[in-house]
Structures are given as structure tokens and as C-alpha cells.
Amino acid sequence: MSKFSNPVVLKLIEKHRRLWAIRHASALMSWDTETYMPRAGIDGRSYASAELEALYQQAITAPDVVALLEAAEGFEGLNDYERGVIRVMRREVDRYTKIPAQLLYRLERTSGLAFEAWREAREKSEFSKFSPYLKELVEINRKIAEALGYREEPYDALLDLHEEGLTTGEASRVLEGIRGELKRIYERVSADGYYIRPSALEEASYDTGAMGQVNRAVLEMLGYPADRARLDVSPHPFTIELGIDDVRITTRYEGRDFKRSLFSVIHEFGHATYALQIDRELFMTPIGDGVSLGIHEGQSRFWENVIGRSREFATLVKPLLDEKLKLTRGTDVEELYRYFALVKPQPVRTEADELTYNLHIILRFELEKGMIRGEVKVDELPELWNRMSEELLGIRPRNDAEGVLQDIHWAHGSIGYFPTYTLGNIVAAMMWSAIGKERVKELVAGSRFGEIKEFMKERVHIYGATYQPRELLMKSFGSSYSPDALISYLSAKYLS
Ligand code: MG
């Protein structure tokens, strides 16, 4: 039985095909920008993406598309999938109707140039090279928020772009709710000393070719389908979904501290698996993608942290590491696990451990909220960043490269993205709790990853964007984003 039978919804899906194709082209271009494009190509590329974005805007706000959507909205008795199509299309149409074309163009073009400026600023650790672009991007984002509208404050509109329905109030409640608990767990872990003792493996250098072999072997072990997916190298690991049979992940090789490359691969594998397991019938329809960044990040965090940084996984992967990487030959499994699960406050978010990671998010959330409210000026950011880092993590970055310039998101023009990482950590913990602590251990120890994927497929992946994030969580796990799950998971891991 087909999921779609209403003739107007079917027509809307057919119209959507062209929108999907424009997005497909943009995604392929982004993948290329981050992987193989010569650096000087960015100028032309930023014009090209701005033009494609304009084309998308024209296509989605075209009178025939809007008329079909309005007609579809008039029907009663539609099924969940059909309602999902209408919900997602309505969000897109509203967004592109409300944001003026010139503003979108300016965002695309400025973020292209800002990305290059940021890259140089970070290399030289000179915030002033990036700050003029950031000022403009903040201004553009504030205008976008005004155009979109919001209930309580402009930042709400930006959060909603990344996570349907997320508001400043809810993000505050979630982040403030875990802040004290995280601190409590961290203090106990510090006092105990086991997880904070440095590991020699952090400093050990590795051969990039050998590490590439490890990453490929791990992907094979987890069940990454070679005929439907790729692994490449980029400065910042990411996943791009070009279609249900073309999903691409990247990692990086820094030459030391091999877990960083390995866990990037496992993390992106989690994103890729979501995309690969969406119901094939939803492919190329408005609901054929992951529903939100928070839910997406939940999938990647689950694979990276719950599975990858576990004792059972360390046991499983040790022979492979010993054979290919050699560094681990003199280490026992427990030491390898301790290296994987190490707790170490340090200035850089992407290197953060599971426990302190969310403190990095609180810092960014406060600063973004302040910038959009107009309470924080871009020129004050470096100092504010460092001060908050000291307050939250006990560490002052040595320079702006490892402080305010460390993340790519603002350079991409994205403000309101960061809180979705903590939502992801929460979703991962909710899945851990739903599968069951002992059962997760058993499945990983037995290398039964197919069963874990099947669980995720049935509860989350198969639906694509059919349900709103909170609706999906309620349906599949019985509650909305639940910070308690994250605290239980971290307590079970670090305090027992
Ligand atoms: Mg991710």
C-alpha cells in the first residue's frame, strides 16, 4: 500500500521533485567545497550557491506550489505521511516567503566570504580578520529573525530554523537543568581520579595510511554499505546526504591522538545510518530527510559515545587496532577503554569528552542569545568567550584560534545551531535507556550492530520527517527531550 493517496498531496510531491533536485545540486557543491575544490574556487562557488538558493526560493514560492499546498491543507482525513508532507512544505514555503530574496542572497554570499576569512583568521589566530564578516552575519540573522517572526524573542526564530519548535525558553530550561548535575558528576569524577588521568595514547603519533585502514575496517564492522556510501577527508568531519543510496561522510587525520579520527568516523556513521534507513518510499519527497538536527545528532552521538566509547567496543576493536595501528599493542583493554572515555576539560568543543561537552554548548548558547538580543557586541566576544570558558570549564583558551574562532558555524552564517548538539546528547541517552543498559552492552560485545540499527530504524529512521521532533520522541520513547536521561546515562557510566 502506498503511503500517499490523496491526489493533491501526490501532485505536491511531484512538484517538490524540482526543489529536491536544486537541494541535491547544492549539497553536492557543499561536499565538493569542503573536500576537493581548490581554495581559490570559493569566490565563484559562493556566487553559484547564492544563485541556486535564489532559484530554490523562486521555485518553492511559485504560485502553483503555494496553491497546491493551500488546497492540500483543506483536506481532512489525511494519513500521518500526507500530513507530514504538508507540515514540512508549509514550513519551507513560509520561510522562503517571509525572508526577502536580497537578504537570502546576502546571507549566502557573505557566508561564503566569511568562511574564507574565518579560515585565515583561525590560522593566524586574529579575530579582527573575521569580525567584520561576523558583524554582518549577526545583522543578517537579526533581520531574518524579524522577517520570520517569533513569539518571545528573535533568537527563537533562529533556533526554530535548526530545530522545529525549539525556543530560547526551552533551550534555557534544558541547559540550565543539566548544568548543576554535570558539575556534580564532574566533581566526583575528578575526586576519584580514574577517568581524568592522562593516557599515553593521547600523545602517540600514528601513520595516516594505517589509520585510514582502521577507519575503513571499523565502518565495515558497523555495516556501512560500500555501494551506497563513501568516506573522504576534509578539514571538518561532516555527513552529506545526496539520496538514500548516496551518503557521504568525511574524517580528518591529524597524525596524533587517533581516537579523534576514529570517533569522527563513528559519529558521522551515525548520521549516515539515519539517512540510509529512511523509508525508501519517502525518497525525494518533502519528508525524505532526517526530521531535525537534534534528532540527527542523537543518532551520531549514540554511535560515537554510547557504543564507541564503551568498554565492550574497546574490547571488540582492540585486535584490529593492534594489527593495523600497532600503537595499542602494549596497552590492555581497560587502558584503551579509559583512553576512549577520558574526561578532560579543555578549550575545544570538538575534542571535548562526554561530560564537559555540554558546558561548551552552554557557553555558545549564552553568547548567541546575547548577540541576537544586541546585548553582546561582536568586538567583545573574544574576552567574553575566554571568561566564560574559565567559569564553566576552568580553562582559559591560550589564543582566539582555540577560543572564539574554533567553530565553523558562525562563519557558515548559522546562529542557533549549537543547542541542537545537547538535544542530540539527550536523544542518544533516551535511546540507551529504551534499549536497556545491559542489552546495549550485550549487543556491542557480540558485534550485533545490525540489531541496534534495526531498533533505530523502527523507532526513528524509517519515518524521515513525517512527525515533528517532539511528536516522534513521544511516539517512540514516551517523552519529549528529557535531560534526566542524559544525567542517568552519564551517572551510570562515570559514577558506578
Ligand atoms: Mg554531528
Interatomic CA distance for residues 91 and 418, integer angstroms:
21
Distance linking the first and last C-alpha atoms of the chain: 49
Q: Which residue, 373, 368, 409, 408, is CA-closest to 388?
A: 368
- Which of helix, strand or coil describes residue 197? coil
**Residue at 228 is within a domain:** yes
Q: Residue 66 C-alpha to ligand 1 middle, in angstroms?
A: 33
**Residue at 250 is within a domain:** yes
**Residue at 121 is within a domain:** yes
233 shares a domain with 127 = no
- Which of helix, strand or coil describes residue 249? strand
> Where a domain ends, among 162, 183, 203?
162
Query: Which grid coordinates belong to 110?
Result: 557573505
Q: Residue 206 C-alpha to ligand 1 middle, in angstroms?
A: 24
Interatomic CA distance for residues 148 and 161, integer angstroms:
10
394 shares a domain with 369 = yes
**Residue at 189 is within a domain:** yes
Q: Residue 211 C-alpha to ligand 1 middle, in angstroms?
A: 21
Contacts of 454 (CB under 8 A, 6+ apart): none
How many domains in the chain?
Answer: 2
Q: Residue 387 C-alpha to ligand 1 middle, in angstroms?
A: 27
Which pTM value belongs to this model?
A: 0.96
Contacts of 390 (CB under 8 A, 6+ apart): 396
Question: Can you give the pLDDT at residue 372?
Answer: 97
Query: Quick check: 135 and 123 in contact, CB under 8 A?
Result: no
- Which amino acid makes up residue 142? R
How would you write the pLDDT of the chain (496 residues) with one tens digit per residue?
699 999 999 999 999 999 999 999 999 999 999 999 998 998 899 889 889 999 999 999 999 999 999 999 999 999 999 999 999 999 999 999 999 999 998 998 899 889 889 999 999 999 999 999 999 999 999 999 999 999 999 999 999 999 999 999 999 999 999 999 999 999 999 999 999 999 999 999 999 999 999 999 999 999 999 999 999 999 889 999 999 999 999 999 999 999 999 999 999 999 999 999 999 999 999 999 999 999 999 999 999 999 999 999 999 999 999 999 999 999 999 999 999 999 999 999 988 999 999 999 999 999 999 999 999 999 999 999 999 999 999 999 999 999 999 999 999 999 999 999 999 999 999 999 999 999 999 999 999 999 999 999 999 999 999 999 999 999 999 999 999 999 999 999 999 8
Question: Can you give the pLDDT at residue 350?
Answer: 87
358 shares a domain with 321 = yes
Q: Tell me the pairing of strands 229-233 and 239-243.
A: unpaired
- Which amino acid makes up residue 187? E
Question: Can you give the pLDDT at residue 453?
Answer: 98
177 shares a domain with 70 = no
Question: Can you give the pLDDT at residue 108?
Answer: 87
**Residue at 2 is within a domain:** no
Q: Residue 294 C-alpha to ligand 1 middle, in angstroms?
A: 9
490 shares a domain with 401 = yes
| Protein residues within 5 Å, CB atom, of ion ligand 1 | 300
Question: Can you give the pLDDT at residue 25?
Answer: 97
468 shares a domain with 415 = yes
268 in catalytic set: yes
Q: Residue 86 C-alpha to ligand 1 middle, in angstroms?
A: 27
**Residue at 481 is within a domain:** yes
DSSP label at residue 233 = E
302 shares a domain with 368 = yes
> Where a domain ends, among 134, 162, 190?
162
DSSP label at residue 281 = G
Q: Determine which helix (DSSP H) or strand (DSSP E) holds 251, and give its type and residue range.
A: strand 246-251
253 shares a domain with 115 = no
366 shares a domain with 268 = yes
Contacts of 478 (CB under 8 A, 6+ apart): none
**Residue at 1 is within a domain:** no
- Out of 53, 164, 268, 312, which one is annotated catalytic? 268
Domain range for 99 is 7-162
What b/e string do you get for 313-333 counting C-beta neighbours within 10 Å, with b at 16 or more?
A: bbebbbeebeebbebbeebee
**Residue at 396 is within a domain:** yes
Q: Which residue, 100, 95, 37, 46, is CA-closest to 66?
A: 95
Query: Which grid coordinates belong to 326?
Result: 600497532
212 shares a domain with 142 = no
Q: Residue 228 C-alpha to ligand 1 middle, in angstroms?
A: 20
Query: Which grid coordinates belong to 124?
Result: 593566524
Give the CATH number, domain containing residue 373.
1.10.1370.30
Query: Quick check: 30 and 111 in contact, CB under 8 A?
Result: no
CA atoms within a 13 Å half-sphere pointing along the CA-CB vector of 399: 9
Q: Residue 266 C-alpha to ligand 1 middle, in angstroms?
A: 10
Q: Residue 406 C-alpha to ligand 1 middle, in angstroms?
A: 16
Question: Can you give the pLDDT at residue 46?
Answer: 86
Interatomic CA distance for residues 362 and 121, integer angstroms:
24
409 shares a domain with 305 = yes
Query: Quick check: 417 and 364 in contact, CB under 8 A?
Result: no
> Where a domain ends, among 143, 162, 181?
162
184 shares a domain with 155 = no
Q: Determine which helix (DSSP H) or strand (DSSP E) holds 230, and give its type and residue range.
A: strand 229-233
CA distances from 346 to 352, 361, 374, 395, 421 (A): 7, 13, 29, 6, 18
Interatomic CA distance for residues 308 and 302, integer angstroms:
8
